Amino acid sequence: MRVLIQSWRDVAHPLAGGSEEYVDRIAEGLAERGHDVTLVVARPAAQHTYRVATNGGRFTHYLRAPLRYLRGRPRPDVVVDVANGMTYYSPLWRRGPSVILVHHIHELQWRQWFAPLLAALGSFLERRVTPFAYRHCIFVTVSESTRDALVALGVDAARIRIVRNGVDVVDAEPAPPSPEPTFLILARLVPHKRVDLAVEAWREVQSETGGTLVIAGQGPEVDRIRALGVDRVELLGWVDEAQKQKLLGDCRFLVHPSELEGWGLVIMEAAAHGRPTLGFRVPGVRDSVVDGTTGLLADDFDEFVRLWIRMAQNPSLSAELGCAARARARELPWDRSVDAFEAVLEEAVRSGRVGGTTREDHEL
């Protein structure tokens, strides 16, 4: 198949996260299977094993997408629109199958990132226009939480396929955590990740547990987090893959305070190292963390503090949760995700513009 993927960000973007990693691994896997894959993104972009092209900046690439498509030859067999709140509405300007990939609904993020008028417009497009424009298309998402949110927006459940994030399997037995307790946050420093909330919790936790809270990641919230002035917090900024793997192996567990996720790729990366996750019972996180089995989930700030202390002071509990987390991670290799996504594209191509009228099991 000739596959065109349209996405806001490449993994080279400073704010790239789990969504971009997902698209990259899917595109790479499809190319390895012999498909002709092109990813079109806003600047900047890196080189990949598949074709990548830039088409404008943060907003202009959405407007330029139809023009670039009309100029291109040969035409793709299927287009994948990656929705980051905003999408490309390819069913309105091309004939042929389109698939829309939705990691999560952005209702909360509109108000966090944009002025009220623009936030209202973005929310309206996501809630009203997108379900209508893609009403004949297949929706792909990564979790039951997002599937349920899409159904609440009016998307036909029979058109939704769940293709979960994969994870690189770590074959070696997990190393013991560092003797000095280390608790790790690995996230983009943006409002909805709520890293500041975890730092405030650490203010209460540290006297009970000792150790250090290590925060790896970059983003616009860094100055505000630093200004909290909480002791025994290390802000590392951006880390490369080797540093990330070492941090995951050294930590006692992952602290993930996000207010919502599509899935939470880093949760499974920690699980692959035998490290459980402490988080909140929110969309996405409640899908990737099996509460009480692969990690612990809190309903509010006070419970988050209590569970943090409990996990830190009970190494046998953390070890038990980490063992179960690793077993689950081994069930979700990237190859399975690529297989399932490939099956969705084949379904879309077979059924043409209609995008499929019967439910097929592509869930992992």
The residues, ordered by sequence, that sit 6+ positions from 88 with a Cβ below 8 Å of its Cβ are: 6, 62, 65, 81
47-56 pLDDT, tens digit per residue, is 999 999 999 9
DSSP 354: G
Residue 361 has what pLDDT?
37
149 and 46 housed in the same domain: yes
Q: Does pLDDT of 353 surpass 50? A: no
Same-domain status, 136 and 191: no
Confidence of residue 147 (pLDDT cuts 50, 70, 90): very high
Q: Are residues 10 and 63 in the same domain?
A: yes
Q: Is residue 174 part of a domain?
A: no
- Given a cut of 80, whether residue 316 has pLDDT beyond it is yes
Q: Are residues 322 and 345 in the same domain?
A: no
Its pTM stands at 0.91
Residues 113 and 153 in one domain: yes
- Please give the residue that has the higher pLDDT: either 224 or 107: 224
Residues 39 and 152 in one domain: yes
Phi, psi of 168 (to 5 degrees): -75, 125
Q: Are residues 305 and 340 in the same domain?
A: no
The CATH number assigned to the domain holding 322 equals 3.40.50.2000
pLDDT at 352: 78
345 shares a domain with 309: no
Q: What is the dihedral of CA 269, 270, 274, 278, to 10 degrees?
A: -140
- Residue 177 within a domain: no
Residue 349 has pLDDT above 90, yes or no: yes
Whether 305 is in a domain gets the answer yes
**Whole-number pLDDT of residue 363:** 44
Amino acid at 360: E
Determine the residue type at 81: D
Q: Does residue 321 share a domain with residue 339?
A: no
Burial of 131 (0-12, 13-18, 19+ CB in 10 A): middle
Q: Does residue 196 sit in the same domain as residue 318? A: yes
Q: What is the pLDDT of residue 205?
A: 98
| Number of domains within the chain | 2
Domain assignment present for 7: yes
Among 29-33, 112-116, 190-194, the range with the most confident prediction by mean pLDDT is 29-33
Q: Tell me which residue range forms the domain holding 123.
A: 2-166+333-354
In a domain, 199, yes or no: yes
- Evaluate whether 362 touches 161 at the Cβ level (below 8 Å): yes
Tell me whether residue 18 is in a domain.
yes
Give the pLDDT score at 85.
87
Q: Is residue 278 part of a domain?
A: yes
Q: How far apart are CA 339 and CA 27, in angstroms?
A: 12
Average pLDDT over residues 95-110: 90
CB atoms within 10 A of CB 241: 8
Q: How confident is residue 356, by pLDDT bands cut at 50, 70 and 90?
A: very low
Report if residue 272 sits inside a domain.
Answer: yes
The confidence score (pLDDT) of residue 178 equals 82
Same domain, 260 and 302: yes
The model's pLDDT over 263-301, given as tens digits with 9 standing for 90+, comes to: 999 999 999 999 999 999 999 999 999 999 999 999 999
Q: What is the pLDDT of residue 169?
A: 83
φ, ψ for residue 249 (rounded to 5)? -75, -30
Domain identity same for 119 and 240:
no
Q: Please report, rounded to a whole number, the percentage of residues in the chain having pLDDT higher than 70.
A: 97
pLDDT digits (tens, 9 = 90+) for 62-97: 999 999 999 988 999 999 999 998 999 999 999 899
Listed as own residue / partner, the contacts of 31-38 with beta carbons closer than 8 Å and 24 or more positions apart are 33/338, 33/342, 35/1, 35/2, 35/3, 35/342, 36/1, 36/2, 36/3, 37/3, 37/5, 38/2, 38/3, 38/4, 38/5, 38/76
